[in-house]
Amino acid sequence: CFSPELLPLYDLKGKIAVAVDVLRATSSMVTALAHGVTHIAPVSELHECLAYKEKNYLVAAERDGVKAEGFDLGNSPFHYREDSVKGRFLAITTTNGTQAINRSRTADAVLVGAFLNLGAVADYLRKANKDVVVVCAGWKGLFNLEDTLFAGALAERLEGDFSLNHDATLAAHSMYQVAKGDLMGYLSKSSHVQRLERLHILPDIEFCLQHDVYNVVPVLEGEFLVVAQ
């Protein structure tokens, strides 16, 4: 079975969790691993993240859509397409995305999904053949459209392989059918797109809404996200 659910109410034991924060944390992580970052430590607090600098990690932080002071990088996927990230360890903290990943740790396995690696995640889940929960990061505990649309897109890719009859799955799937012809238009009134537009980072949104750009699946191994082999 396959479903997007509300945490912390849902028990992830025995499931594969796909943590998603399409705008922009998980899109940036997928981009970073695809461009040669070898390990990502997703951490919850700013001070925790900054401490990794002493171990020669790149350190990245975003709060309320803006790069936090004192860090090497923010949360734009464009920061992670540079040659300078190749071969590096990265520690990152973001407002919602890294929290969603860390809240998923009770699952049997934790993957990171985005539109950018949608097909790769779908292939991984088909092979693993276990129950799946999409952990939508939302915004500070609230529902958001973009992560639900990702759940709907993933459900569409998995039609025929998983039972998709949970209410949340049906809703996400229908929403994606309505939106998929013009995701940007559908999302234009969403709270986070408006927030990012105020910060003048429209190109980030356009980049994150592209499907199947990278063939990598980030998977949590202990402390780190690494590319699944």
Residues that bind ligand MLT (CB under 6 A): 21, 23-25, 62, 65, 75, 94-97, 196
Nearest approach, Cβ of residue 177 and ligand MLT (Å): 25
Q: At 154, which helix (H) or strand (E)?
A: helix 145-158
Measured from the CB atom, the residue of 23 and 118 that comes closer to ligand MLT is 23
Largest CA distance in the chain: 49
Nearest approach, Cβ of residue 164 and ligand MLT (Å): 27
Nearest approach, Cβ of residue 129 and ligand MLT (Å): 30
Residue-wise burial string across 102-112, b where 16 or more C-beta atoms lie within 10 A, e elsewhere:
ebbeebebbbb
State which residue has the least CB distance to ligand MLT.
94
Measured from the CB atom, the residue of 13 and 198 that comes closer to ligand MLT is 198
Measured from the CB atom, the residue of 95 and 117 that comes closer to ligand MLT is 95
Q: Whose CA is closest to 95, among 167, 150, 160, 21?
A: 21
Measured from the CB atom, the residue of 95 and 104 that comes closer to ligand MLT is 95
